[in-house]
Amino acid sequence: MSSQVDLASAVGWQDEDKPVSWNQRDLLLYAVGIGAKKDDFALINDKSWAPFPTYPVVLPFKGTSQDVVNFRKLMTGGNRAPGLPHFDPNRGVHGSQSIEILKPFPAVSGPGWKIKKRIVAVSENKSGIILEQESVLVDAQGTPYAKLYSASFNLGAKATGTNFSKRIAGPPQAKPVPKDRKPDWVVCLGAGIAYVKKAEKSKL
Ligand SMILES: *[C@@H]1O[C@H](CO)[C@@H](O)[C@H](O)[C@H]1NC(C)=O
Ligand SMILES: *[C@@H]1O[C@H](CO)[C@@H](O)[C@H](O)[C@H]1NC(C)=O
């Protein structure tokens, strides 16, 4: 943490690359963890099995660990980006999460995969400070497979005490939810609901 608070200087800051790895067991556990049932064969295991496409969202937390992740320890690591004030880890909220899938990823990573992270937006208002991070999953050759965007809302955090906002990148605009018809299929993933078109269902 820098002693000089200057939110603008944190935008664009590139973190160290984070090595990541996974195997098929991790993908199956993930599928069950997000609610796959015993007859969701395409998610659990059969001839048409494929990794669930949102899996990269957990990789910035997992890294290369083969054990459970100590989330609390990860969250209390402190800010290493310049210009940010102290954030109380007890008042951090996962504000939003997006994933842009660029390429299907393999069932077993093998060595050399990593996540390249940078801060792409910082904003402040009366409620606190929001940090948005971009994490790009790349293979050993540097080919990107997925781009993740996540926002952390640090309630009560204060820098200037006024409204501030700077952004250099963000998730692509999502397609609007059609208002004139019901979804063909609805899947509940944890707390969220994904609306999926019939044609896309086979890809999940
Ligand atoms: C601050 O921004 C957040 C996120 O956009 C919003 O939910 C909140 O209402 C804002 N607070 C104020 C006081 O404008
Ligand atoms: C900050 O933005 C909020 C919401 O847009 C507005 O109500 C408030 O007056 C602004 N505060 C300052 C100090 O400009």
Q: How far is it, in rounded angstroms, from Cα 204 to Cα 196?
A: 9
The DSSP symbol for 35 reads T
CATH level 3 topology of 7-173: Thiol Ester Dehydrase; Chain A (3.10.129)
Query: pLDDT, tens digit, for every residue of 159-188?
Result: 988 999 999 999 988 788 889 998 887 766
Q: How far apart are CA 107 and CA 105, in angstroms?
A: 7
Q: Which ligand ends up closest to the CA of 161?
A: 2
Entry pTM: 0.83
pLDDT digits (tens, 9 = 90+) for 41-76: 777 777 788 899 999 999 999 999 999 888 878 877
CB 149 within 8 A of CB 84: no
Where do the structural domains in the chain lie, given as residue ranges?
7-173
HSE toward the beta carbon, residue 90, CA cutoff 13 A: 0
Ligand 1, atom 9, residue with closest C-alpha: 127
Residue 180: CB atoms within 10 A of its CB come to 4
Measured from the Cα of 95, ligand 1's closest atom is: 4
Residues 6+ apart with CB under 8 A from 10: 81, 82, 83, 84, 119, 122, 131
